[in-house]
Amino acid sequence: MKRRILLLIIFAFVLFLFVGCGDKPVDPDPNPKPDDPVVDPGKDPEPGTDDPVEIEYTLTVDKTSVSLTVGEDATITATITPTATLVWSSSDNGVATVSSGKIKAIAAGTATITVSTEDGKVKKEIKVTVSEVVHNEVEDLKSALTKTVNTYSSSDSFNVVIETNASGAKQTMQMVYNMASGSYSEFFYEVKGNVTISTYVKDGVSYMNEEGTKRKATLSAGEMAELVKDYNGKEFLAKVASFYDEEAFYNALEVVSATEFKLIPNKYNGTSLNVSNVETITLKVTFSGEYVSKVELVYSNGNQVTVSYNGFTTQTVPALNDLSSYTE
């Protein structure tokens, strides 16, 4: 009996030592961290700040091909969803140019117009075919010449060069200007031949160079008005283009080709052209849409007159780089 009691006491003591000397419980973390999520390797991760969603654009155009003649234009309407900036370009600006969807035919040939998003990932192409304007009737020539000279003579901007060759004596005249409120904002006139004379006007100041003698003067309102009256597109073209209005001129023409005509002097009874001692006058014409860009009169005696129509919208006026050398 005493032995059993002793064994129980020993067992209880050992049990107390085992429980008392064991690992103590760990206090809970006051800032626990969530367990890492379980990622399914077969599932795409959800998009977030590190994985931006790529926008899918839909781009459409109302035409995929355009046929034009030189000088004509056409407008392509492009629609992009959702809204984005579109970039336009031409594969050959010598054939056709484009700006915000407006295509301008420059010369015969083919070109590809491309419209795309800024990153170039979405794009559409438009094929452009440009043909020459065929003028093979005298009435076509008359219409183009008349419209050209009338437009140039009445426009606020002007750029024309006249070249003459009479008995071997060559002379070149050029007039370029932009006009605003009845006055020239910028004006340039030059004659080159036996002598060279030029006049440049800007900001109300005239710079004149006569064979190296350079003078400048501030123009009064009256002097500017006089300049506009005496030196303008209509007066500049008066002599070299006066026959454009003569029925006698067109009645004496024969068609050689789409760009060449021949005037028969003995059929001409007008007054604008001097046909004395001339067997024929060949008229070579360069057309630009409904306008004319160049007219060449080639006389059988070797004389020649060429008029180049270089533009009637806002022009870049030849600026002088030595204005400081002009004196009052």
* DSSP E strands, 133-247: 157-166, 169-180, 183-192, 196-202, 205-210, 213-218
* Neighbour count for residue 24 (Cβ, 10 Å): 5
Contact 66, 126 (CB under 8 A): yes
Q: Which residues contact 13 (CB under 8 A, 6 or more apart)?
A: none
Domain positions in the chain are: 58-131, 138-311
Of residues 194, 197, 202, the one with CA closest to residue 213: 197
Q: Which two tokens stand for residue 45?
A: 């991760």
The per-residue pLDDT string of the chain (328 residues; one tens digit each, 9 = 90 and over) reads: 445 544 444 444 444 444 444 444 455 555 555 555 555 555 555 555 556 678 889 999 999 999 998 888 899 999 999 999 999 999 999 999 999 999 999 998 999 999 999 988 899 999 999 987 665 588 889 999 999 999 999 999 999 999 999 888 999 999 999 999 989 999 999 999 988 999 999 999 999 999 889 999 999 999 999 999 999 999 999 989 999 999 999 999 999 988 999 999 999 999 999 888 888 999 999 988 889 999 999 999 999 999 999 999 999 998 778 888 989 8
Contact 176, 158 (CB under 8 A): yes
CATH of the domain spanning 58-131: 2.60.40.1080
Question: For the segment 67-105, what is each residue's pLDDT rounded down to a tens digit?
Answer: 998 888 899 999 999 999 999 999 999 999 999 999 999
What stretch of H or E contains 234? helix 233-237
Residues shown for the chain: 328
Pick among 1.10.3470, 2.50.20, 2.60.40, 1.10.3120: CATH of 138-311: 2.50.20
Work out the angle at residue 70's Cα, subtended by the Cα atoms of residues 68 and 74, and round it to the nearest 5 degrees.
40
